Amino acid sequence: MSSVDLPASIKLVFENKKLLTMNLLVTAYVLTLRKKKINIYECLFYYILSLISFSEKAEPKYDKKEFQYNYFKIDKTLKELLIYLANSDLISLDSNSSKNFSEISIIVTDRGKKMVSDLQGPYFVDLKEKIKVSSTTLKYKKQYYKQFVGEVL
């Protein structure tokens, strides 16, 4: 089999780790405005909701397959992105001495808060609003996450 090299402009659309890193930081920031720290999977849950078609009605509607696609796309690089954010002093990770990755929480540092508050572009303003709406419309529960992605946690 021969491999095909894609142009950089197309790779950026589908494999933009810098944008994904900033998106996770923005999501964590918005969610930690109400509480000091946020569970990694709760952060990922609301970020994915901001990507998919999500209805804000009394009974929120979402596409489970679209959620799963985004989850598995992001999950493969999640640890790498979190390490990068922590090493850049934008977040700190709180593990409560747990060895289970799903029990780790994110705390956005002052440097991370400043970076996110300085983001004024329409993309990030829209992302912040989508995160606020989804987090007030649908309260996170582990059961939802398992329902969306299956028994991967």
Structural domain for 52, as ranges: 16-149
Residue 152 has pLDDT above 50, yes or no: no
* Per-residue model confidence (pLDDT) at position 6: 57
* CATH code, domain with 141: 1.10.10
Strand partners, 108: 91
Q: Give the model's confidence band at 91: pLDDT under 50 very low, under 70 low, under 90 confident, else very high.
A: very high
Whether residue 7 is contained in a domain is answered as: no
Total domain count for the chain? 1
* Per-residue model confidence (pLDDT) at position 149: 66
Instruction: Let me know: does 21 contact 84? Beta carbons within 8 Å.
Output: yes
Whether residue 5 is contained in a domain is answered as: no
CA angle (133, 123, 120) in 5-degree steps: 95
- 10-28: per-residue pLDDT in tens? 555 556 788 889 999 999 9
CA distance 28 to 114: 13
Within 8 A by CB and 6+ apart from 119, the residues are 22, 26, 125
* Per-residue model confidence (pLDDT) at position 84: 92
Helices (H) and strands (E) in the chain, counts: 8, 3
